[in-house]
Chains A and B, each alone.
Chain A
């Protein structure tokens, strides 16, 4: 899902860069141009064919897909498939609709992104602007947690969430993963690039630590926040293992889990709803793609330049 959105954005910017930097002699211009386009078209095909196949196949009847494999034409069942995916209840209770799962995914994605931005900004603020004992040890301890991804510590994490009684709750889904070493690191680097004189001017202007943070640092970090927001939203949206473990109630299912759920055949000889699974995958892909497209410019700005 991430793949579909990010490389296409990267391919777009790579295209303009090639055109700007390489100025071949006029006679060879069309050759170079054709070559560049060939590379780009190849890249687009590589990235977009699976997406297109998934979308087109989702418009067919599941029986056709079952018998003849994935389809590259338009099957005509677009409206009915997507209506079923979005609004038809499934699961044991029969009340889990695509919309509900989308909602859950949004809560998870937004909770992840917003929570991680808040926590990592505050952590970086403390590390960069306050002299407290063992500050750099604290930072490196946070940084080292990058070496311990969720998969490694999933059992102890589950144990903690379970003992706090947070299984099957949004809090349990979001809170344990809200600390972010990556985010803290990015914000630390950014804060370090903010000139000290700004802090000094603010102190003379009577801004205390909280006011300096809110009035000066937060507005200056806007592009940085957008960049982190995109990364973390996509990460949160795509979580699979964690929600699978933390939530057993169907009401907390996310879209990513839903794809698998659709494929699960309940009755012996029934053909799995391939079309709905593919449709669900397409729907699951859309919001991260939209977020990336909307924030793309700020995202790149936040990562490559520091506005001062």
Chain B
């Protein structure tokens, strides 16, 4: 029986202060509800603010309502209840074109019969912008995105990455209050995706325009976001800086969704301020008696020899190059841990040295952090 001395709920070193943007928020979503005519609730009362120049990522599994929420902001879906304000102005009833937004679509949605130049200019033309100004803005955006040499080509003559740039150019020339990205990198291959991800981030910093970025890819969310909004079944699970969300997930859902590999979750029993799972015991002051979920990040424990720490049986090892993902059993819970130094053999007995501050506790019923 290993007993760990737990300074419960200790602040983790990784916790970065959630950047509180100065000034009035660019976008306020106030109690937004989306109910479809068939009664299905896609968004169940969501409050989010996006500050000036802030990049907020909506992340969640498919069907969690993240795209619906973005489309409500864009004006492509009506708002059943609640209010959406852009720069302090209520836009619930405004047409998409009158909301001062720009959107980048997953499949780019470039007009196939127009040249890149015409694609960029179309929105401005419809707004009645003078010709010289359109030309100037198009040239500026093209220079910024390095698509100047493609201006007279059709979208079908461009590669995926180039089309993505054109789609962003179309958003930039509009000078919007807020950019909306709807899974813009999903159609690109892995290498290009990583590259474009960085470019989007740099570009957003440079332009300083508030942005919402929707993705189901938690790596994209972690790398891009100033703040992450984790959505599940139409509700906000957690809002916070990427490091915060990772270090202190607000629920078992967030714990298992954010981070690869997912956080290990195992049922434990609390009695008299001690949480117990098999051989592992930990002081959990302040927790009521009863069942809880105990969480452990894969990279948190150290793999040590048998007899030390909590007993752990190695079952399989996945090579990741820089590290190894070791799957095994700790008591009757399946646990995966990330190791960069040791090379355990499958079938070997070992031990896990777990620091008490690496354990997370969640309510066994609601899944909320305790």
In the complex, the answer to whether B97 meets A205 with C-beta atoms within 8 Å is: yes
Which residue in chain A gives the minimum CB-CB distance to B118? Answer: A215
Bitwise interface map of A from 216 to 227 toward B, beta carbon under 8 Å scored 1, else 0: 100110100000
Contact (Cβ within 8 A) A307 B97: no
The stretch of A9-17, A26-34, A104-112, A194-202 in contact with B is: A194-202
Is B343 interfacial (CB-CB < 8 Å)? no
Rounded to whole Å, the gap between the CB of A184 and the closest CB of chain B is 23
CB contacts under 8 Å to B, within A291-308, are 307-308
Establish whether residues A195 and B107, one from each chain, have CB atoms under 8 Å apart when the complex forms.
yes
B91-129 contacts to A, CB under 8 A, are 95-97, 101-103, 105-107, 109-113, 122-123, 126-127
Return B226 CB to nearest CB of chain A, in Å. Answer: 24
> Can you report 8 A-B residue pairs in the complex whose CB atoms are below 8 A from each other?
A195-B107, A198-B109, A200-B76, A200-B103, A200-B109, A203-B97, A205-B97, A205-B122
Q: Indicate the size class of the contact surface on chain B.
A: 20 to 34
Chain B residues near A198: list those with CB within 8 A.
Answer: 109, 111
Cβ contacts under 8 Å, B95 to chain A: 203
Is A219's CB under 8 angstroms from B113's CB?
yes
| Alpha-carbon separation in the docked complex, A90 to B107 (Å) | 63
CB of B74 within 8 Å of the partner chain: yes
* CB–CB B109/A308 < 8 A: no
Chain A residues near B (Cβ < 8 Å) = 195, 197-198, 200-207, 211, 215-216, 219-220, 222, 307-308
- The secondary-structure label for the interface of chain A is helix
In angstroms, Cα B105 to Cα A200, docked, is 9
Please tell me if the beta carbons of B96 and A215 are within 8 angstroms of each other in the complex: no
Bound-state Cα–Cα, A211 to B123, Å: 11
Flag if B123 contacts A206 (CB, 8 Å).
yes
Q: Can you name the residue of chain B whose Cβ is closest to the Cβ of A201?
A: B109
Question: Are A203 and B111 closer than 8 Å at their CB atoms?
Answer: no
Q: How far is the CA of A195 from the CA of B109 in the complex (A)?
A: 8
Known interface pairs A195-B107, A207-B126; A200-B113 also in contact (CB < 8 Å)? no
List of A residues within 8 angstroms of B106 by Cβ: 197
A308 to B109, CA, bound (A): 10
Q: A220-B113, A307-B112, A308-B112 are in contact. Are A205 and B107 (CB under 8 A)?
A: no
B107 proximity list for chain A (CB < 8 A): 195, 197
Chain B residues in contact with chain A, CB under 8 A? 74-76, 95-97, 101-103, 105-107, 109-113, 122-123, 126-127, 170
Least CB distance, A201 to chain B, in whole angstroms: 4
- Chain A residues contacting B102 (CB-CB under 8 Å) are 204
Q: Chain B residue with minimal CB distance to A194?
A: B112
- Ordered nearest first, which 8 A-B pairs have the shortest CB separation? A206-B97, A205-B123, A197-B109, A206-B126, A201-B109, A219-B113, A197-B105, A204-B96
Interface majority SS on B: helix, strand, loop or mixed? Answer: loop
Known contacts being A198-B111, A216-B111, is A203 close to B126, with CB within 8 Å?
no
Residue of B nearest to A203 (CB): B96
Nearest neighbor of A197 in chain B, beta-carbon distance: B109
B105 touches A206 (CB 8 A): no
Chain B residues, Cβ within 8 Å of A216: 111, 113
In the complex the two chains form, is B97's CB within 8 Å of A201's CB? no
Taking a contact as CB atoms closer than 8 A, the residue among B101, B110, B111, B113 that contacts A204 in the complex is B101
CB distance from A196 to the nearest CB of B (A): 9
Give the complex CA separation of A198 and B76 in angstroms. Answer: 12
With both chains docked as a complex, state the minimum distance between the C-beta of B169 and any C-beta of chain A, in angstroms: 13
A219, B154: Cα distance in complex, Å: 14
Nearest CB of chain A from residue B330's CB, rounded to whole Å: 48
Question: In the complex, how many angstroms separate the beta carbon of B71 from the nearest chain A beta carbon?
Answer: 8
When the two chains form their complex, are residues B126 and A204 in contact, meaning their CB atoms are under 8 A apart?
A: no
Docked pose: A211 CA to B126 CA in angstroms? 9
Complex-state Cα separation, A74 to B101, whole angstroms: 74
Q: What chain A residues lie within 8 Å of B105 (beta carbons)?
A: 197, 200-201
Q: What 14 new A-B contacts, CB under 8 Å, besides A204-B101, A205-B122?
A: A197-B107, A200-B96, A201-B109, A201-B111, A204-B97, A204-B103, A205-B126, A206-B97, A206-B123, A206-B126, A207-B97, A216-B111, A216-B113, A219-B113
Q: Min CB distance, A226 to chain B, in Å?
A: 14
Q: How far is the CB of B302 from chain A (nearest CB, A)?
A: 49
Chain B nearest CB, measured from A106 CB (Å) = 30
Shortest distance between the CB of B244 and any CB in chain A (Å): 33
CB neighbours (8 Å) of A206 from chain B are 97, 123, 126-127
Bound: A216/B123 CA distance, A: 13
Q: Within the complex, what minimum Cβ distance (angstroms) separates B166 from chain A? A: 12
Whether B97 pairs with A220 at a CB distance below 8 angstroms is no
A220: chain B residues within 8 A (beta carbon):
112-113
Within 8 Å CB of B127, what residues of A?
Answer: 206
How long is the Cα–Cα vector from A146 to B97 in the complex, in angstroms?
Answer: 41
